[in-house]
Structures are given as C-alpha cells and as structure tokens.
Amino acid sequence: MTKKALITGIEASIPDYVLTNSELETLVDTSDQWIRERTGIVERHILKQDGLGISELGADAVRKLLASTGTSVDEVEMLICHTISPDMAFPSTANIISDKVGIKNAWGYDIGSGCSGFLFSLATVDAFIKAGKKKIILVCGERLSGITDYTDRNTCPLFGDAAVAMLIEPSEEFGLVDYDNHVDGIGRHYLYQKAGGSMYPATAETVARKEHFIYQDGKTVFKYAVSNMADVSVAMMEKHNLTADDVAYLIPHQANLRIIAATGHRMGLDDSKILIDIEKYGNTGGTSIPLALWDFKDKLKKGDNLILSAFGSGFAWGAVYYKWGI
C-alpha cells in the first residue's frame, strides 16, 4: 500500500507576551470592538525580546517534540521549516534550528509560502515519505511581529507569533489522504513585504518608507479568500464523496472569523465542527493550522476525517483531506 505522511507527534512554542486589543488601542486609532467584530481576534502572543528570531521558538518546539515522542536526534533524517519570517535570509532557519537542538545527521531547508505554507509543506513532506524517508520533522513558525508596523491599524491587530514542530512518519492507514493546492500570481499586488529582497534591497530610504513591513489590501484579499477557501474545501469533499457528517472537523487557516465561518457553512458544517482559536493567537500565517491541530489535539480522535484549508499571499491556497492518526 502507498505510504502516507502521518503526524505522530506535535508540540508548540508560544511566546509569553500577550498583546491585547486594549494595548493596541494605546498604539493606533482602533478599538477592541472593531478588532473583535471584523476579525475575531482578542489577543495574540508576540516574541518581544530583541535578538531572538523564529528559530528560538522553533528549537523550543523541536526539543519538546523529541522528548514527547522519545525520538533521538540521530534518528531524524530531515528537518524542514516553513516560515516567511526566517531568522535571516540565509542560512536557512531549518539549518539554525537543527544546530540549536543538536540534529547532525539530517538535511533540510526552508519553505516560504505565507498562510498556505503548512498545506504546501505537508505535500512536500508527503513526497519524501513516499520516496522512503521514515522520520521527518516539519517546523512551522512565524515571528510576524518583527515585520508588522505597530503604527498601521490596518495590519497591526492581525498578526501573532508561534512555532509548531511535528514528527512525520509513514503510515498505510492514516495521514495525508489528498491535497489540492493552487497559486495565482495576481495576489502579489495585494499582500507582500516590499523591501529587503533582491528587487528592493534594504536602504535607509526603504526603511524610512516602512517597506520592510507587511502590506495588505485587506478588502481585496478578503474577497479572494472567502470564495477560494470555500470552493477548494467543498471540491475536496466532493472528490472523496464526503458528506458533512463524514467530516469530523474543518481546521482552517485563522486569518478572519468571517472567512472561516463562510468556509464552514459552504461545507454544510455545524459550528461545533469548525475549530477556531483565532481569538487567542491571531493570524500566525502558515503556522495557524498546525497551531490549531496542537491546540485541539485532545478533541481529535484516531481516524477522524479532517479538512485543512488555507488562503494567503501569492495568492496561494489549498485544501487537504487528512485522517488524524495519533
């Protein structure tokens, strides 16, 4: 039988500092009510300390994962990190995390695909599992607070920081059943970090223009997100003849409560089947789906049919049909 990528262990590292809506009211012209009603976010955790990158949280999550799964560093064959807020442009954050936790016999690299990143990374890991790898660690982590402008009310209420590490092993019965991932470059005009790359290298001027921060045309992204996330999730159900009763839970990317609700309702799911923790963590980019898997892991039962669904920068989006197997 074909092997599937199965998450056999999952751990998270969440920074202690809680940035509340009321603190944001002191930074920009906003209100707790506006943020709750328009996004569903109540608070988010951010990594405050200078000089700490996302590898700090990533390494912490990997150490917990090795301990909870009884895995030795020598057994790990690959470590892949998904992030759009790497410690540095290079070397890869995967490399830095491996060094911090003492993984020496593995190779790996970073993937960067914004909010759909977990879905794209899981598909990548699945290909390695099908090619014969037996123990891969996937870390999804973002320190989005480091690229967020806390004077811009359009973006600063949205984002949070976290890292999640997963041990992924082959399984015949459970794990990734199918994925349907998409990209459309039209999205590059609506959600981006303009400067700091090769097109606009960092200069005093790019910094003065605040071009190293996240820019988002929220209304446009919202319109694309709300239809594409629902379409791709419904299409995945139809492809596998899954009714709403067959789906145990939708675990959506946590960007906006209204997008999540629209997706769940198009799938015909009761609210109780839509797993939401946006109120606690905000939008943690490609980390939000694994963060929710970790957050709700006590609710999930072996064999549960899950639909994981995301939309984000690129545009890039997709849906995964996954059978929970821990």
325: amino acid identity, one letter = G
CA 170, CA 243: separation in Å to the nearest integer? 27
Q: Does 30 bind ligand UT7 (CB under 6 A)?
A: yes
Residues in 35-94 at the binding interface with ligand UT7, rule: CB under 6 A: 35, 38-39
Piece of the chain touching ligand UT7 by CB under 6 A; list 68-76, 151-159, 164-172, 182-190: 151-159
Could you confirm whether 81 is annotated as catalytic? Answer: no
Contact 22, 33 (CB under 8 A): no
Catalytic option among 115, 140, 228, 256? 115
Helices (H), 113-211: 117-130, 204-208
Q: With respect to ligand UT7, which residue has the nearer C-beta, 8 or 148?
A: 148
Could you confirm whether 140 is annotated as catalytic? Answer: no
Number of residues that bind ligand UT7 (CB under 6 A): 20
**What are the C-alpha distances in Å from 75 to residues 72, 81, 95, 169, 229?**
6, 18, 16, 12, 37
Binding mask 259-298 for ligand UT7 (x = CB under 6 A): x-----------------------x---------------
The sign of the torsion formed by the CA atoms of 261, 266, 269, 275 equals: negative
User: Exactly one of 153, 182, 266, 297 binds ligand UT7 (CB under 6 A); which one?
Assistant: 153
Contact 182, 86 (CB under 8 A): no
* Residue 35 C-beta: closest distance to ligand UT7, Å: 6
Torsion angles phi and psi, residue 110, rounded to 5: -100, 150
Torsion angles phi and psi, residue 284, rounded to 5: -105, 30
User: Exactly one of 157, 175, 252, 314 binds ligand UT7 (CB under 6 A); which one?
Assistant: 157
Enumerate the active-site residues: 115, 253, 283
Applying CB under 6 A, the residues found at the interface with ligand UT7 are 30, 34-35, 38-39, 115, 153-154, 157, 218-219, 221-222, 225, 255-256, 259, 283, 311-312
